[in-house]
A = this chain, B = another copy of it.
């Protein structure tokens, strides 16, 4: 035991920012969503269904959050990081490094899924890695618009979805709006992702997360699907790929501000709360617990 602890201690990173980047990297690396899609697509529906793909994405994200939460707060999405920055709860300077770490995590995660499903993808495609058509497999890794979706429809879809997503995330963050039991946040965010998957997934697969979408897209670009992953057939002069990079930021900002303006700004006594240092949010919690203690004690003694 001690031997192992001592060994591990040698590798200890003392930079807080470096630790956080590693956590963000790992959190996005282990997201299981692509595996769930690979399983359903390559088994032609015998090993799952649309629902299991959404379960894979949603529940997988829970474990990404559980891995990273104690170190970096488990942002795992540049849009979420940006929202916290806008609200002054996260330094802007960390945003690029967080995003880059997430991107690399998602890139390597896609690589791992490809490795794990290499045989299955070969068998399903006959070796042809395609972006469109009935044997397309690029959709395992990144989002592509459905046939019916217009360019504006795609933009609106991503803005609306990201707005609702961030609005709900802000509600979960807001300790004054509801006593969600400590530690359940990752699970509830996972449920939120599932909800979005079953409500907003058929237009373009609800990417919502620029790092989660671009990282695997870059992987498919170099792994054999080629430049097609950055093009779409029907929209002239451009392609789909930048929509899930840009629209979620717009929607996320919209949702964040909506929540702040409609709910959080109106909590009583917002003013003097700032004076207490934000970081020690736990103070209030601690006080509450002390009081609970008194209760328990008095309960015992009487």
Which residue of chain B is the closest to A177 with respect to CB atoms?
B70
The contact of A3 among B88, B119, B178, B272, by CB within 8 Å, is B88
- Contacting B at CB under 8 A, from A275-291, are 278-291
Whether A63 contacts B195 by the Cβ 8 Å rule is: yes
Contact B117 A203 (CB under 8 A): yes
Range for the number of chain A residues in contact with chain B = 35 or more
| A223 at interface, CB cutoff 8 A | no
With known contacts A172-B66, A181-B181, A203–B120 Cβ distance under 8 A: yes
How many monomers of this protein are in the complex?
A: 4
A131-139, A146-154, A230-238: which lies at the interface: A146-154
Q: Which positions 6-61 of chain A face chain B at CB distance < 8 Å?
A: 8-9, 11-14, 16, 19, 22-23, 25-26, 30, 32-33, 35-36, 39, 42-43, 46-56, 59-60
- A48's contact among B8, B25, B51, B273, by CB below 8 Å, is which? B51
User: In the bound complex, how far is the Cα of B13 from the Cα of A263, in angstroms?
Assistant: 9
Name the contact of A195 in the complex, choosing from B55, B123, B279 (C-beta under 8 A). B55
Q: Are B302 and A298 in contact, with the CB atoms below 8 A? A: no
Chain B residues near A54: list those with CB within 8 A.
52
Answer yes or no: A157 CB below 8 A from chain B CBs: yes
In contact, B50 and A202 (Cβ under 8 angstroms): no
Q: Which one of B4, B168, B179, B285 lies within 8 Å of A86 (CB-CB)?
A: B4
Known: A11-B261, A178-B70. A62 touches B191 (CB 8 A): yes
Residue in A87, A160, A196, A203 whose Cβ sees the most chain B Cβ within 10 Å: A203
Check A47–B201 contact: CB distance below 8 A: yes
In the complex, which residues of chain B have a beta carbon less than 8 angstroms from the beta carbon of A66? 168, 171-172, 177-178, 180, 188
Q: 1/0 contact trace for A97-126 toward B, CB 8 Å?
A: 000000000000000100111111011100
* Closest partner residue, chain B, to A37 (CB atom): B199
Q: Are A299 and B284 in contact (CB under 8 A)?
A: yes
Residues of chain B with a CB closer than 8 A to A25's CB = 262
Q: Which 9 A-B pairs have the closest CB atoms?
A: A1-B88, A70-B177, A35-B199, A123-B148, A119-B153, A47-B202, A32-B199, A8-B265, A52-B198
Residues of A within 8 A of B (CB): 1-5, 8-9, 11-14, 16, 19, 22-23, 25-26, 30, 32-33, 35-36, 39, 42-43, 46-56, 59-60, 62-63, 66-67, 69-71, 86-89, 112, 115-120, 122-124, 146-150, 153, 156-157, 160-161, 164, 167-168, 171-172, 174, 176-184, 186-188, 191-192, 194-196, 198-203, 258-274, 278-302
Can you show 15 pairs from A to B with CB atoms below 8 A apart?
A: A5-B270, A22-B266, A32-B200, A35-B200, A49-B50, A63-B168, A67-B168, A71-B177, A71-B267, A124-B148, A180-B183, A284-B299, A292-B292, A296-B299, A301-B302
